[in-house]
Structures are given as C-alpha cells and as structure tokens.
Chain A
Amino acid sequence: MEFFLHLLVNGISLGFLYALSALGFVMIYKSSSVLNFAHGELLAMGAFLFLTLTAWAELPIILSFALTLTGCFLLGFIVERFFLRPLIGEDLIQVIMLTVGLAAMFRGLLLFIFGGDIHKYPEFLPPELSIKLDLIQIPSVYVATFIIGLLFLLLFGFFFKYSSQGIYMRSVADNQPAALSLGVHVRRVFALSWAIAGLVAAMSGIVLGIINGINVHELSSIGLKVFPVVILGGLDSISGAIVGGVIIGLLETFTGGYLSTSLREIIPYIVLVFILMVKPYGLFGLKEIERV
C-alpha cells in the first residue's frame, strides 16, 4: 500500500511536470499550427540559464529565477523574429523542419558550452514545503512542481478562454486570412506565443533540473515525451495537456514500479496507439467541423 501511494504521488507530480512542458508546445500549436520539435531544447536552455545564474554567477534564487524567465521569454521572441518570421506564408512542413534544425543548433550550443555531464543546482527549496501524509513523505520538489504546474495551467487556461489577447491568438490559428482582415496583428500573435512558450519551457526545465539534475540529452528527450502527452490529450487543448500528462506520468511510474524499469519508456506509446484507435483527435482535441 505504501509503495502504491508512493508511486501514485510520484506519477501525479511527474504528470504535472509533463503537462507543464506540454503547455508551451500547445501554445505554439494553438496559434500557428506549428509542431515545435525544438521544445525539449528550449526547456534545456531555460534549465542551463538558471544553472549559470545560480551556481556560477551566484545570484540570489528569486532574482535568477526572474531573470531566467525573462531571458527565455526574450529567447522565444528572438527565435520567432529571426528564424520563423521569414517563413510566414510558406508551407507548414518547412516551418516544422526549421524547428528540427533549431533543436540541433540549441543542443550543439549547450553541449559546446556545458558539455554532456550532469550538473546540479544548489539546494534552495525550503524543506517545510514537503508534506507528510500517514504513510508517505512527499518531497518538497514534488509539492513545488504540483503548485507551479497547477498555477501556470490555470493561468493559461483562463488566458485563452477569456482574455481578448487569448481570443485573438485562437482566431489566428482558426482562420488566418479572416484574422488579418479584422486587424489582428498576426505577427505579434506569433511572437507572443513563442515568447510565452519559451517562458513556460524554462519553468519546466528548471523543475526538471531540480528533480533529475541538468543534462543536455536528458532534457531534450523530454521534448519527445511531450508528443505522447499532447497527442493523447489533443494537440490544442490545455486541459487535454493536463489529463494527458497525468495519464502518461502515472503509466510510467506504475510500469516502472510493478513491471520493469525498461518497459517504462515504451508503455506510454503503446497506450497512445490504443487510445488513438478509439479517439483519433485525442481525448480533448478539436474535432474537425466540416460543412457538407
């Protein structure tokens, strides 16, 4: 029983972490229908920026946290401005290939500067954050993950649903010519969605770094993990990202705990195949509305 609860808690917080990573991905997909293959690398950029600021420059945690988020917000903005904007109006597949190239570039850059070793952040989470339930102790990292994840997901959920800017962003994804005809600043929407994606990616990169240590390969492979999560939840749905994330997280920890650790990486994909057979748009994805 204790083991089960332990896995459950682990699975849920891992799930929230996946959901948070997926959020940035969903953000870009929602506004521009671009699948961002460089998402894992954006995550890694955030994690390493935070490492540089805390461990090397030895700035206070809060300050380096704020600086990292701003830095990655700007990074997303710059990526859009210099790499994606020239491709506006080109085929989607070309834009997607560009993100594959960006991924290679970022990974190379990080390997060049930091090497392939695992780095660690200094301890900074207050131990009071950890919660002791009857049988199990939830470490403060997981509590922090849970809180941050929930906060960001709610924030962006409301942003897309109710704020004017969020509605403009959805309108661009829906029908770009029509959005242009109404004066929606399409380029600004793209820039904003990349900037926000960068910010959220940095957030999840830092949390992942706290849990697993910071390593280029490991962080960028999380970018791949985002795919089963968002495909399961539906590519353009924030609540889908949460549910998809939690499902994949639970599956991983339970397979790892009860079956074998080597199956851990495979099971999510197998489940994904079966779910897509029943719900081809994912659990919460938009169904194509077709007028006949």
Chain B
Amino acid sequence: MSRQNKLLINNISVVYSDVIQVLRGVSLAIKEGQIVSLVGSNGAGKTTTLKAISGLLKPENGKVTEGSIEFQDKSIQNLSPEEITRKGIIQVLEGRQEFKYLTVEENLRVGTATRWGRSYQKDLELVYDLFPALARRRKTLAGFCSGGELQMLVIGRAMMAHPDLLLLDEPSLGLAPLLVREIFRIIKKINQEQNTTILLVEQNTNMALQIAHYGYVMENGKIVLEGEAEYLKENPDVKEFYLGTSMTGDNKSYHDLKSYKRRKRWL
C-alpha cells in the first residue's frame, strides 16, 4: 500500500506566549484517505497538534517555532486560519462550539464560508442525509439542541466546507455510549463515502482504534508510539495504560495491581 502522504508533520515544536513549550518534536504522517487516530492522556498536546495544523494557534498566541508542516507537499506552518481552511483543512473544535443564536440550518451555512457564493443546497441535503436528526431541527436555535445533536451539527458544519482533511477533536466528549457508537459509525462513513482523510483526536482509545487505520500515542508533547491500529490494539502498553486491560486479557485482581510500579517502556 503506497498511498500518498496527505499531511506530513516533521519534528515540530510549539510554544505558547514565547515561553511555554507544549510540543517538543512531534512528527506524524497522514496518508490519503485514511483515518488516523491520535490518542493520549490530558495535556499530552493532542489539541495543540491539531491547532498547529489548522492555524488556530495564532489567536491563542501560540507558534510553531521549529519543524515543518506540509499539506499536499506545500508548507503551511504559521499560515492564518483563513488561508489554511481554504486549502481544505477544517478542524472541528473540542466541546461542540456551535453558534448558539443561529438556527441549525444557519449553522450549517456558516460551513460554506470557504467557498462563499457557490450553491450549497446539495451539501445541505448530504448533511441531512448523514444526520437525519438535524433535518428535523433545521429551524431550531442551536442553543436549544441536545449534546448529541450538537456534535452532529458541528461535524455536519465542517462537511459543508468539503474538507480534504478533517481534524476531529474529541467527538465523543460527554456523549452517551450509544451515541458515541453512532458518531463513530458516521465518521467511518464519511471517510469511506466522501473519501475524506481524517485525523481523529480521542480519549476514548478503544473506539478510536477500532475505526482508525493508523494510530499515534502522545505523551508530554511527544509521540511515544505509533503503528497500524491493529498493532496498537495488541500492544501491551497501550492495553495497560489506555485500554485498561491486562496483558493476559483477564480481569485483574486488585491483589497484583502494582501498575504504578511498572515503568512505561518508552519513558
């Protein structure tokens, strides 16, 4: 399988406010048409990595100080978000940042900002097709929608922009298990039917590795482990620290629980 690299991040460092270093030498590659998962604990730098790609570091006074980010073989680091979105990279922010005072349909229409002036009716239908729940709520103010509907709304809104590369930041945050499964099913569907390349940041490692082709594990601003999703799922460390099962797969007895004594291999 020799697919082309859609996005290539080469050894980047990100610094906030000129002093706080959050990423120290992150490299990753995303192949055309794949779903790539980026997992890790809180504060590992996952969201920062996404923002470095989408250019949203800038308003937060962050900067890529070293390394390079290449999208379709063109360098994009430290460009403004307006330019990056117009190249086809759309980020879905963490925590469902809907436009409260706009209706569902108006929210979706904001997604057309990168291709203003062109017709969007077809795309609306496509999104309502993916998320029938939204079609029923099209005239409702987004502020009155439920968490599940909002997550669908923000993903749908991003789809309106016809992204080449979709960056999803924790789509499962705060959703019931059934809804999480539904959202992930749709993410997979988007990847297969629209052929959209997806970079998925998740805390729900189990779900994330199920739908991904490839995965990266981050800790303390570095990539510590990478591999095919199948390989990561079987990796004893990932199992231990992120999937919560022991090496044998049996339930653990509290008696032998000394995981705090076990050093992570990669540190």
A residues touching B (Cβ–Cβ < 8 Å)?
Answer: 89, 164-165, 167-168, 170-171, 174-175, 177-187, 286, 289, 291
Contact = CB atoms under 8 A, between A and B. Distances in A.
A84 to B, nearest CB: 16
A183 B109 CA distance: 12
A184 B54 contact: no
Given A89-B59, A175-B97, A183 B143 contact: no
A177 B110 contact: no
Contact of A175 (B81, B92, B99, B113): B99
Q: Chain A interface secondary structure, helix, strand, loop or mixed?
A: helix
A83 to B, nearest CB: 20
A184 B154 CA distance: 15
A268 B90 CA distance: 48
Given A164-B116, A181-B92, A184-B113, A174 B100 contact: yes
A178 B98 CA distance: 7
Contact of A167 (B86, B97, B98, B110): B110
Interface residues of B, number: 35
A213 to B, nearest CB: 41
Given A175-B97, A175-B98, A182-B90, A289 B141 contact: yes
A101 B77 CA distance: 37
A290 B210 CA distance: 35
Interface string B88-110: 00111100011111100011011
B161 interface: yes
B158 interface: yes
Most A CB within 10 A of own CB, among B86, B99, B100: B99
Contacts of B107: 171
B24 to A, nearest CB: 25
B53 to A, nearest CB: 11
Contact of B102 (A89, A174, A291): A174
